[in-house]
Chains A and B, each alone.
Chain A
């Protein structure tokens, strides 16, 4: 069966810092390079959110984009213009790497999306840290 999806792009700006407590300062510097600065550094993140589901015969839509905007912007409030290590609860025990930020966002968005409409599927998210660095998260049947 054909599967139709809709993708919407969002943006947020945040700073983060790489540091592993189990390692010496030297090892941290060697591995993470400039990323260890205690004050953090920042990126303009681009987030592409792909949603799948039944096309509503009345509206012709899988999800009303204003609904998706509301859900995602509500979550991104905690990320936008924040120092991710300090200002959010998500990266106290894990690195705010592109991989971990994308995983966290996938879980948060999926939860809120299914609360709004049970038959919607968060198919995939793609998080660009820069135009040449990105992470994808998707679900796969076990």
Chain B
């Protein structure tokens, strides 16, 4: 069976500091190194969102792009131009690593797009670090 997915690339900018409450200051410094900098640092995150399903007979689309944009923006607006650990409740106790951010985004996007359509996410923290989550095939 042929499977099709449609993907869009989004960008959001945020600052954060990697620091775990369950580790000592010394351990935090040795685990997270420069990412543990007291006053934080930031990234232009790039998020690739893939939805899968049958393209609609009339429109030829799995999801209309403006609809996907609106749903994704609703989630990303909560992170864009924010300090993740200080301004986003979810990351007040959980370190805002790429792994935890992509898990958060997956769960929030499932609420907007639906678990049957959301297929795959790829989060670029920098041009060299990326994180993926999804149902396979991509």
Contacts and interface: CB of A to CB of B under 8 A. Distances in A.
Interface of A: 18, 20, 22-23, 31-33, 94-100, 102-103, 106-107, 124, 131-142
B64 A31 contact: yes
B8 A139 contact: no
A138 B60 contact: no
Main secondary structure of the interface of A (DSSP, over half): mixed
Given A138-B3, A139-B3, A140-B1, A99 B61 contact: yes
Contacts of A124: 137-138
A3 to B, nearest CB: 13
Given A131-B9, A136-B7, A138-B138, A100 B60 contact: yes
23 contacts: A20-B58, A32-B59, A95-B58, A96-B60, A97-B61, A99-B6, A99-B55, A99-B62, A103-B55, A106-B2, A107-B2, A124-B138, A132-B9, A132-B10, A133-B6, A135-B6, A137-B3, A137-B4, A138-B2, A138-B138, A139-B2, A139-B3, A140-B2
Interface size band for B = 20 to 34
Interface in B1-47: 1-10
B116 to A, nearest CB: 15
B5 A135 contact: yes
B2 A97 contact: no
A31 B59 contact: yes
B50 A136 contact: yes
B64 to A, nearest CB: 7
Contacts of A106: 2
A31 B7 CA distance: 19
Contacts of B9: 131-133
B137 A99 contact: no
Given A95-B58, A133-B7, 18 more contacts: A22-B58, A95-B59, A96-B60, A97-B61, A98-B6, A99-B6, A99-B55, A99-B60, A100-B60, A102-B4, A124-B137, A124-B138, A133-B6, A134-B6, A136-B7, A137-B3, A139-B2, A140-B1
A71 to B, nearest CB: 19
Contacts of B66: 33
B75 to A, nearest CB: 17
B65 interface: yes
B56 to A, nearest CB: 9
